[in-house]
Every structure is written in structure tokens, then in C-alpha cells.
Amino acid sequence: MEDYKFFIHGEVDTSQDVYYKLKRRDNGVVTICTIQWFDEFDYDQSKFIINSKGEQHVFANEDEAIKFLNEKFNSLEIDPSYLYCNLDFDNVRD
């Protein structure tokens, strides 16, 4: 994994922990992948969303990935299962 540059959101050890990355599907929709280091080899690295420095966004938890996705992308680009308007918040209380 030394070939990949990551921009880490939160506390995550990519050599051991489960983490989350944004990936553009062939149909243009951006979705969230749950990954461990050994899964990296199964993915086309060019499909992961990068920042202006060429670093892939890596999130410590799915909630942060969902928040980033909804804040940075047009709703038509987002996998419908991750759109805020489609998530079930009925039982969420902060």
C-alpha cells in the first residue's frame, strides 16, 4: 500500500483498521466502500475520489464519509442509499 497516498479523516490505522473510501462507479455515481488493507488490491485505484494533491480520501467511520459525500457532491452524483434525504433518521437522537 505504499504506492497509495491517503488523506485521513479521523483516527485510523490503514494497516490494521477497517476504513471507508469514496469510489466512483462506472455509471458515475459515487458510493462508499468499506475496506481493509488487503482489499486495496481488489479495486481499480483510479476510481477512488482524490483531493487536489492526488490523495485518496480515507475515513475512520462511515458517518464521516456520508457527511463528506453529502457536503461535497451534487445529489445526482451520490449513491441513493447514502443521500441524507433517503437515510432513516427516525430513531436518531443526539
Would you put residue 38 in left (φ > 0), alpha (ψ -120 to 50) or beta? alpha
pLDDT digits 0-9 by tens, 52-64? 999 999 999 999 9
- How confident is residue 1, by pLDDT bands cut at 50, 70 and 90? very low
The predicted model scores a pTM of 0.81
The amino acid occupying position 15 is S
DSSP 23-89: EE-TTS-EEEEEE-GGGGGGS-GGGB-B-TTSPEEEESSHHHHHHHHHHHS-GGGB-GGG-GGGS--
- Per the prediction, the chain carries an average pLDDT of 87
* Span 75-86, pLDDT tens digits: 999 999 999 876
How far is it, in rounded angstroms, from Cα 80 to Cα 32? 11
**C-alpha grid cell, residue 11:** 483516527
